[in-house]
Amino acid sequence: MSEKNTFDETPKETLINDDIELSAELNPDIYFKDNSEDFKENQFVTMKSEGAISGFYDWIRCILFAISIVVICLTFIFRLVDVDGTSMESTLESNDKVIVTNLFYTPKDGDIIVISHGAEYAKPIIKRVIATEGQTIKLDYENDRIIVDGVVLDEPYIKDSTFEGNYGDYEIPEVVPEGKVFVMGDNRRVSLDSRRTEIGLIDVDNVIGKAQFVAFPFNDFGYLY
């Protein structure tokens, strides 16, 4: 009975004030009713401006990323090289464009490689690897053939004869030294290659990479092996 009397004696103003405070906490917009539209408009303009700037920087980042990928590819993965001259006919013609790869590349027999320069020749050249370090090599002029590690090479890619008088003036060692490769052109009659002192044995550090595809002209596009 005493509890009921205590409840009834609670002032009504206090209950009303409590309700107002509670409502204010749940819905604070009642304090900003007059300025709500201005607040929303200002907020919208600010977000729109920041979005435009952010989009611009996103484009810049995408462009820089694309340029970086191209630079990395051209430096470490592939290059486009022009063929100059007739020493690789009929495999490659003058003015052909070839795709050259050089990532983790080590020259191997039969590879077509691009070389930065020869012993006394400053221009880049493109030739075929005939023998690599540690292999024995013999140019059999009498029988018009090349022998590597005691085996006569089968070379269906060469044009005409293996030599036809182009014997060269370079003293070729019986065994290819460490870090060197012996190269020749597929058009052996006119090729300036490891048979000549201007080119000599090629240092593997001077090998730019391996020619993989003919990229141009388009009618000759294809894999070289």
Confidence of residue 19 (pLDDT cuts 50, 70, 90): very low
pLDDT for the residue 59: 86
d(CA 177, CA 164): 27
Q: Which residues contact 31 (CB under 8 A, 6 or more apart)?
A: 24
162 C-beta neighbours (distance < 10 Å), count:
18
Confidence of residue 44 (pLDDT cuts 50, 70, 90): very low
State the number of CA atoms in the 13 A half-sphere of 174 facing the CB.
Answer: 1
The tens digit of pLDDT for each residue in 55-105 reads 778 888 889 888 888 777 766 678 899 999 999 999 999 999 999 998 889
Which of 18-22, 23-27, 59-63, 132-136 reaches the highest mean pLDDT?
132-136
Confidence of residue 16 (pLDDT cuts 50, 70, 90): very low
**H-helix or E-strand containing 71?**
helix 36-72
Q: What is the pTM of this model?
A: 0.69
Confidence of residue 26 (pLDDT cuts 50, 70, 90): very low
Cα 114 to the center of its chain, rounded Å: 17
Q: Clarify whether 127 is annotated catalytic.
A: yes
Helix (H, G, I), strand (E, B) or coil at 126: strand
d(CA 159, CA 189): 8
Cα 214 to the center of its chain, rounded Å: 17
d(CA 29, CA 73): 58
The tens digit of pLDDT for each residue in 127-140 reads 999 999 999 999 99
State the number of CA atoms in the 13 A half-sphere of 78 facing the CB.
Answer: 12
Amino acid at 136: T
Q: Clarify whether 40 is annotated catalytic.
A: no
Find, among 187, 205, 212, 191, the residue nearest to 111 by Cα: 212
Which one from 23, 36, 68, 87 is the annotated catalytic residue?
87
Which one from 54, 116, 127, 194 is the annotated catalytic residue?
127
